Amino acid sequence: MFPVVGILTGKLKSEDARTLNVVRNTFFSGLMKACSLLCSLIVVPITINYLNTENYGIWMAMTSIIYWFAFFDIGLGNGMRNYLAEAISEGDYDKARTYFSTAMVILSVIAVLIGCAVVPAVYMFDLTNIFNTHGIDGHYLADVLAVAVVFSLVQFVVKNIGMVYIAMQRYAVNDFIIFLGNVLSLLAVFVLTKTTQPSLAYVVIAFTGIPVLMFLLAIIPLLRKYPQLKPSIQHIDTVTARRIVSKGLGFFVIQITSCLVIFGSANVLISHYCGPEQVTVYNVAYKLFNVLVIGYTILISPLWNAYTDAATKGDYEWIRRTFGKSLMMWCASVILGLVVLALSGWFFRIWVGDSVTIPFIVSAYVLFYVCSFNLANCSACLLNGTNTIFVQIITSSVLAFSYLFVIFVWGKQIKMTGIICLMGICYVIMGIVYSYQSYLIIRRKATGIWSR
């Protein structure tokens, strides 16, 4: 029985400490993610009614732009996380402090450099054309986007406070920080609907400023309990910096291509080629089926470090069993997705009413994309855990280039459904390639690029 199922039925009998650790992380992390998901569902109709469909679509397009900044840490977050976990496990908090201090300083420098380049550039573009709208003043759009960029860059740095909790095997704490940010953002928007006229600027501040505050507050209990982790200039080390950067660059390329280009650009591309109203249609459908992504991610995220531990100890039988269960859960998620698809029309009528109409074909394509994404993520988790990411780098890079080429050449012809379908096709190909590599690794037959 899959660990999460066992804990839910109260009959879990863990075979080893590794499995028990996965179960604990999965359960509590899942609880926080479920609460965050509920907030995200509630906030959609509130925000749409506050702004209107067009302005909400513009806000969604802006979220795609600021989403990009999360990936410009060149993988330092994951690099720091791996080394930090190793140092904490060894009880070497001086080394852990060096990793934390070095990573935070490098990230701060990167954030400042990006801010100095991007914020002035925002005012140089015709944002009314980019967002395909003429009902909002271009200078006002630039001001709003600049505020969003600044807050997002601050979060770019402070979110790594959550990475420290993750390195300590306390995934649920990081998810709790995110949950608090979502709850307070929801409450802030609700208050805005009762006290102010519709304002895109207020919404941007609520959704980008509050999460920053939550991560800043989260460092207080961390440093109270572990004062030896307090970042300091004296603990910045160039050798450590090279190790962190080297470790993270591979993940950075994968994030840029598979997450930023293919997934992260969807709102902007749909807005540009199809109009901001279609962004709203896509996002409402995606938020429903994203439940499958969140649920499946909850199940497999803790496996990353568990795969690493098992591979290091040569326990490939545990990897085989666990990966098999992950694939079974993916099949179950597909079946659940078909049920959700059948009920989607009824759900949308209750959820957003007549404010947004979601065609069934859009829901079907979004489901295809979501299932494809989960398939790729299933195998990628194993590959990341065993540090065999070279094939991911090549595959995601080729597919990202092909995706953009097709969109730029035939974007207006294939329309929104075509863009969504193309995303799904990319992830299907990734899923097939990554699954084959996972098979080779489990069977100890991976050689050449399959073992890198």
**Tokens (6 digits) for 150:** 């600044």
Q: Domain check: are 309 and 451 in the same one?
A: yes
Residues 242 and 208 in one domain: yes
Domain assignment of residue 340, yes or no: yes
What was the pLDDT predicted at 12? Answer: 41
Cβ atoms within 10 Å, residue 117: 9
Alpha-carbon gap, residue 257 to 430, rounded angstroms = 12
Q: Which of 139-148, 278-287, 303-312 has the lowest mean pLDDT?
A: 303-312
The residue among 182, 211, 246 that closes a domain is: 246
Q: What is the mean pLDDT of the chain?
A: 83
Is position 370 within any domain? Answer: yes
* pLDDT of 320: 93
User: Amino acid identity, residue 117?
Assistant: A
- pLDDT computed for residue 293 by the predictor: 92
Q: Is residue 17 part of a domain?
A: no
The confidence band for 18, taking pLDDT boundaries of 50, 70 and 90, is low
**Residue 137 confidence (pLDDT) above 80:** no
Contacts 24+ apart (CB under 8 A), 114-119: 114/69, 114/72, 114/153, 114/156, 115/149, 115/150, 115/153, 118/149, 119/146, 119/149, 119/150
* Residue, of 228 and 138, whose pLDDT is higher: 228
Same domain assignment for residues 346 and 436: yes
Say if residue 269 is in the same domain as residue 242: no
Cα radius of gyration (the chain): 22
**pLDDT-derived band at 217, boundaries 50, 70, 90:** very high
Q: Phi, psi (5° rounding) for residue 154?
A: -65, -45
> Above pLDDT 90, what percent of the chain?
23
Close Cβ partners of 73 (under 8 Å, ≥ 6 residues apart): 107, 110, 156, 160, 248, 252
In-domain check, residue 72:
yes
Mean pLDDT of 172-184: 86
Confidence label for 7 from pLDDT (cuts 50, 70 and 90): very low
* pLDDT bucket at 4, cuts 50 / 70 / 90: very low
Number of domains in the chain: 2
Q: Give the pLDDT mean for 83-99.
A: 78
Kindly state whether residue 18 falls inside one of the protein's structural domains: no
Q: Is the pLDDT of residue 426 over 90?
A: yes
Q: Are residues 227 and 117 in the same domain?
A: yes
- Would residue 20 count as lying in a domain? no
Measure the CA angle with vertex 270, ends 269 and 274; round to 5°.
125
Pair 199, 325 in one domain: no
| Least confident window among 84-93, 148-157, 185-194, 271-280 | 84-93
Q: Is pLDDT at 221 greater than 70 in this prediction?
A: yes
Average pLDDT over residues 198-208: 86
Spatial contact of 360 and 419, defined as CB atoms under 8 Å apart? no
* pLDDT tens-digit readout, 360-398: 999 999 999 999 999 999 999 898 877 788 899 899 999
- Is pLDDT above 80 for 349? yes
In this structure, the answer to whether residues 214 and 272 fall within a common structural domain is no
Domain endpoint, select from 219, 246, 273: 246
* Mean pLDDT value across residues 429-445: 94
* pLDDT reported for residue 8: 37
Tokens of 154: 């601050």
**Domain encompassing residue 391:** 265-452
Burial, 56: exposed, middle or buried (Cβ in 10 Å; 0-12, 13-18, 19+)?
buried
Task: Specify whether 213 is located in the same domain as 306.
Answer: no
178/288 same-domain check: no
Instruction: Determine the pLDDT at residue 254.
Output: 83
DSSP 190-212: HHHHHHS---HHHHHHHHHHHHH
Q: Strand runs (DSSP E) across 121-257, as ranges?
A: none
Lowest average pLDDT, out of 68-82, 87-101, 165-179, 299-313, goes to 68-82
- Do residues 145 and 186 share a domain? yes
